[in-house]
Amino acid sequence: RRYLWSVWRMQEPAFSNLSSNRLTGELNEKLPVPCMTVFDVSENLMSGSIPSFNYNACPRIPFLNSDLVQPYSPSFAYLSFFTYETRFENLLPFSGTSTLVIHNFGGNNFSGPIPLPPIAPERLEKQINYAFLAGGNKLAGSFCGNFFGKCNGLNGMIVNVSDNKISG
């Protein structure tokens, strides 16, 4: 677990798909999830609560819908491919050229209250489409009063908290 945190700290990734790997343990609140375009730890054996992630500022990441001409590099090719796959093959009901941000915590053993969506304030300025996926856990309670408070800064939002212990 310490090794993974060191890798994240050094590289500040925009995309992290660790789904279906039988990972155990808890998420560290220092992970830069609010700044990540894709953070997917679904279908693992993770436990504890989904933390309120701490962050200072998001690094600038080039997106496909920018007007910048990028020189060829393997990392940019990977980012472009992954963004394409995320936008067009996940069948999420978003359209247009807005950036799609997916935070997928589904299919684990996370417990505790439903956290606020981990979206960095800088992201809200860009009218992103956002998916908070946490179905199939042991989350309990009800949505906090300002869970949907960031909706005005979003182009669209999907929330999946099915198959939990939600009340209210």
Question: Are the C-beta atoms of 28 and 2 separated by less than 8 Å?
Answer: no
Q: Which residue has the higher pLDDT, 91 or 151?
A: 151
Token pair recorded at residue 135: 């179905």
**Length of the chain in terms of residues written:** 168
Range ranked top by mean pLDDT from 31-45, 52-66, 88-102, 118-132? 31-45
**Beta bridge mates, 156:** 129
Q: What is the mean pLDDT of the chain?
A: 78
Sequence-distant (≥ 6) Cβ neighbours of residue 89 within 8 angstroms: none
Could you give the CA distance from residue 41 to residue 73 in angstroms, rounded to a whole number?
A: 27
Q: For 22-36, write each residue's pLDDT tens digit.
A: 999 999 998 999 999
The reply to whether the predicted model has a pTM over 0.85 is no
Count Cα atoms within 13 angstroms, Cβ side, for 41: 20
Domain boundaries in the chain? 2-51+73-88+98-166
Beta strand 129-133 pairing with 100-104: parallel
Q: What is the 8-class DSSP label of residue 58?
A: P
Q: What is the pLDDT of residues 33-73, one digit of tens each?
A: 999 989 999 999 999 999 999 877 776 655 444 444 444 45
